[in-house]
Amino acid sequence: MTGLYGGTGLHLAVALDGVGWHPAAWRAPDARPADLFTARYWADLAREAERGLLDFVTIEDALTPRPAGRLQGGLDAVLVAARLAPVTGHIGLVPTTDVTHTEPFHVSIGVASLDFASYGRAGWRPRVSAGVAEAGHFGRRRASAGAPPGRIASDAELNAEAADAVEVVRRLWDSWEDGAEIRDASTGRFLDRDRLHYIDFEGPYFNVRGPSITPRPPQGQPVVTVLADTAPAYELAARSADVVYLTPDSRAGTGAAVSRVRAAEAAAGRGGEPLRVFADLLVFIDDRPGAAAVRKARLDELDGAGPASSVEVFTGTAVELADLLEERRDAGLTGFRLRPGVLPHDLTGITRRLVPELQRRGAFRTAYRETTLRARLGLARPEGRYGAPASAPAAAATTGGRS
């Protein structure tokens, strides 16, 4: 089976969030909540995902605690990904960062540094933060006029700001041309300053001069990914991303969501590479038919509710999940981002049961071949946008910030 964009078979990613996506996952018998804040825990998960030859892992992040009775706290996603870079060798690493309260300059150097640490396996998911409680952590932002109750702005405004943040980050990644570092000890020249550039970004949310303090990343542009579940988020993905995650709940819904992506690309006047489209699915996998549903029901009872999300929930065997993925893929998807209900149980269900089943069908790779995340997704390494010499010495530049 030949996949989209030159690949073979399905593309699979896993979304890592604490001890799993079910709110009572930390109470599952084989969960490891005591290890959550250790490097070893995250390294074990990443190495297991790599054992399954998955395309990439995403690492969630948030600014507020979960409700009482659920797992509390978390580590910084970019720093976790940086720790995983030296203990993995192939899998892509895609941390989430807030862009409503975090300066794009800081995001740009963090993700660029991750790309260097991983030799070209970095990605990034920008996330908006709508809540007044989240804004209260920073004390720098008040709600916009007409904002919905409990929110600092509308979805449209937050996603427009996010699009500008991504644009600033992308320009900063390009602000050093390839080969700007000379490193000539005999002459004392480390940089060719004509190859460093002001980005001079001015908009309603940011005024950023640049250039970056970090050289252009190995991939040129690390892979930018966006979760799209509202109209403004579709627009953000079409304007700014390389990969979009969708949340359909049926084959017909998948086809409709993919069509919506393509319509958003056309409306945004997107040129070049089309979006790679992944569908999200929350999964509970067991060997015996019916066992996964029983396990989820037990967790629902412990929590008193269960997962509250627009993402479709699958409970079943690896064979049944493989059937579902192959059937949905034909609706125009590049691949799937699977959310394990409980870690590590449902991650190993993916890597040790689902992947071998897909391989048996000839629908998934049997080895890693590409060395960068962009190449694995069929994305070319882009040329930098700043080819002309900078108009002023880079040493005098300032980083800029929010307007």
Are residues 115 and 218 in contact, defined by beta-carbon separation less than 8 angstroms? yes
Neighbouring residues of 186: CB distance < 8 A, sequence distance ≥ 6: none
**Token representation of residue 214:** 């970090």
Neighbouring residues of 207: CB distance < 8 A, sequence distance ≥ 6: 201, 400, 401, 402, 403
Q: Which residue stretches of 231-317 are H helix?
A: 231-240, 251-268, 291-303
How many residues can be counted in the chain?
A: 403
Neighbouring residues of 224: CB distance < 8 A, sequence distance ≥ 6: 123, 124, 125, 126, 166, 170, 240, 241, 242, 243
The annotation status of 61 as a binding-site residue, yes or no, is yes
CA-CA distance, 209 to 202, in Å (whole number)? Answer: 8
CA-CA distance, 256 to 350, in Å (whole number)? Answer: 27
What is the DSSP track for 186-213? Answer: TTTEEE-GGGB----EE-SSEEE----S
CB-side neighbour CA atoms (13 Å) of 36: 20
Strand (E) or helix (H) holding 92 = strand 92-98
CB atoms within 10 A of CB 183: 7
The annotation status of 58 as a binding-site residue, yes or no, is no
Query: Which residues belong to the annotated binding site?
Result: 61, 96
Query: Which residues belong to the annotated binding site for FMN?
Result: 61, 96
